[in-house]
Amino acid sequence: MANRTKLVGGIPINVDQAIELRKSVFGSASAPPRGEWTRTPLCFCSYKEEHPYGLRSPKNASRGLQSVLQAYIMKHFLFSIRPRGEKKSVPIDILLKPTEAQQNEALIAAISEILWNIGEKVKVVIVLTGETNLIPHSHTYFQDSVTEKLLLFEFTKLDDLEIFLKRYLYFFCEENGAGALLFLYSAVLTRTPSKVITDLDGPKGTYLMGTSEEGSLNIVTLLLTGHATPYLHNGVIYVGDEDHYALPQFGILSRSSIGLLILENESHASSLLSRQPGSRLKTPALPIWVSIICGHYGVMFNSNRELLRNYHAEKRFELHYYTCAGNYLVMTIDNRSQADNDTMSNNAGNSNNVPTVSRDDGTTSLISRLIHTKWADAKISIKGSPSSSLLM
């Protein structure tokens, strides 16, 4: 963990800012927010444990936010610290064995990149908690032990942001601390609360936090794309009818670095097409996807930078799945035609590959259906024995 350096500077939050922030995130400043947000930090598994690259979080509304962070952490470990032109293949299990110092570096890189993108590479606002209550309890503002203590720090250079986070990373990682909320507040203030509300494109009173148990999709789109849009289609479409002017719905305006795959409950089948991500999310720049399976968040990834750029690489590859509950799964995705498979079988001879077993239990069936939203005809084989609580 980073050294505990005494917090210096910062602009104290005022009552108008605090009320606007709470309303835009939680819908009200006069009622307390969901309690888990004030006691959920950002923390890794121990570097000595089985998945030292992974964040661990309780099952609460911060899971979506932490899954996006996890995806950017995977980007750091799998791609950012490897030279782009490096020809030598490094086994994924080597790449994903960080030390404690490397864990901290990855978290700093992930937070910085997400906020820098939200701020359009111009300005970022970071909030940390001071020791003093700056806003009194009243009928218009209900104290939550975090928002009324916020100090705001502004950055216009990425290097300065990273140095600051290195110095004060412990604010985000303290046990039972509000690290997840501090990160969310920083994202909203960087975007600005008024722009977040505009992004949501809802009726009066719309706010960022939804009712989903593991977190709002709008938080995910804010962190992935820089805009808290509820629309996942590519670009802008105009929606109207003969009685109303066509109004724009702003979806995903550029290809995403990290992707998004969604499988909804059968009860939401009628909205499935409208909520399916467009190609800018399904085919990101790197083979890393935040996944949502019936409301449960996870991250899928592959270590081959060329996977989504090379047709041959996409014929057969491994896909890894991790959730912030600490669950992990490896799958083989086979997109080859039957003729290709027959040829490969005839030429294989004696193979030392570990055999894979196709399964169709409830959990892996859902994961397979999610993968089929991206690779419709893929044959999916699961390695090992997945836990029945994989999505929990």
Model pLDDT, residue 365 = 87
Residue 203, CA atoms < 13 Å, CB-side half-sphere? 0
3-state helix, strand, coil in the chain (%, to 5): 35, 15, 45
pLDDT surpasses 80 at 42: yes
Contact status, residue 217 vs residue 182, Cβ threshold 8 Å:
no
More confident residue, 272 or 97: 97
Contact status, residue 302 vs residue 310, Cβ threshold 8 Å:
no
Contact status, residue 146 vs residue 134, Cβ threshold 8 Å:
no
DSSP 355: P
Mean pLDDT of the chain: 89
Q: Are strands 259-263 and 288-293 parallel, antiparallel or unpaired?
A: parallel
Domain map (residue ranges) of the chain: 7-226, 256-347+355-386
Q: Are strands 150-155 and 11-12 parallel, antiparallel or unpaired?
A: antiparallel
Confidence of residue 241 (pLDDT cuts 50, 70, 90): confident
pLDDT surpasses 90 at 88: no
Tens of pLDDT, residues 113-167: 999 999 999 999 999 999 999 999 999 999 999 999 999 999 999 999 999 999 9
Segment among 75-84, 297-306, 307-316 with least mean pLDDT = 75-84
Segment among 187-201, 236-250, 318-332 with least mean pLDDT = 236-250
Owner of token pair 């949502």:
292
Model pLDDT, residue 272 = 41
Model pLDDT, residue 2 = 52
Model pLDDT, residue 247 = 87
Tens of pLDDT, residues 4-38: 888 999 999 999 999 999 999 999 999 999 889 99
Model pLDDT, residue 342 = 52
Report if pTM > 0.85: yes
The stretch 251-272 carries a mean pLDDT of 79
More confident residue, 392 or 275: 275
Owner of token pair 């209550």:
133
Model pLDDT, residue 351 = 40
Tens of pLDDT, residues 206-221: 999 988 899 999 999 9
Separation of alpha carbons 218 and 64, rounded Å: 10
The stretch 47-65 carries a mean pLDDT of 93
Model pLDDT, residue 341 = 57
Contact status, residue 61 vs residue 36, Cβ threshold 8 Å:
yes
Of the chain, the end-to-end C-alpha distance in Å amounts to: 28
Owner of token pair 């893929």:
378
Residue 262 pairs in a beta bridge with 292
More confident residue, 317 or 349: 317
Model pLDDT, residue 353 = 42
How many angstroms separate the Cα of 132 from the Cα of each of 37, 145, 256, 261?
19, 10, 40, 42
Rg (CA), the chain: 22
Owner of token pair 């995806």:
71
Model pLDDT, residue 10 = 96
Model pLDDT, residue 384 = 64
Contact status, residue 70 vs residue 324, Cβ threshold 8 Å:
yes
Separation of alpha carbons 219 and 37, rounded Å: 14
Segment among 82-86, 225-229, 313-317, 319-323 with least mean pLDDT = 82-86
Model pLDDT, residue 265 = 76
The stretch 238-263 carries a mean pLDDT of 89
